[in-house]
Homo-oligomer: A and B are copies of this chain.
Amino acid sequence: MKYYVELIIINKDSVRDPEGETIQKYVIEKYTNNIIETRVGKYIQFKIEANNEEDAKNLIEKIANEGRLYNPIIHKILVRVRRE
């Protein structure tokens, strides 16, 4: 079956995010004071053929780690799966 797997790579909460801070200060705060924080990350979408959601997710986690798609020292990742 075909799945879409989303890999979101974002700085850990304890790591500063200068791009997010810049958007927050120079764009967001021109419009509203209701946005408390802005954080920027990278989004990678994979279209994948797998037997089930679990396999799809595991393959992406393996490649993200071994293929160094993110740096675990500074980033955290979110992996989400949905059927095509």
Contact = CB atoms under 8 A, between A and B. Distances in A.
A37 B46 contact: yes
Contacts of A47: 35-38
Main secondary structure of the interface of A (DSSP, over half): strand
Interface string A1-22: 0100000111000000000100
A71 interface: no
Q: How large is the interface on A (under 10, 10 to 19, 20 to 34, 35 or more residues)?
A: 35 or more
Contacts of A46: 28, 35, 37-38
Given A28-B46, A39-B44, A41-B42, 14 more contacts: A2-B36, A10-B45, A20-B44, A23-B69, A28-B63, A35-B48, A35-B59, A36-B48, A38-B47, A39-B45, A40-B42, A42-B42, A42-B43, A43-B43
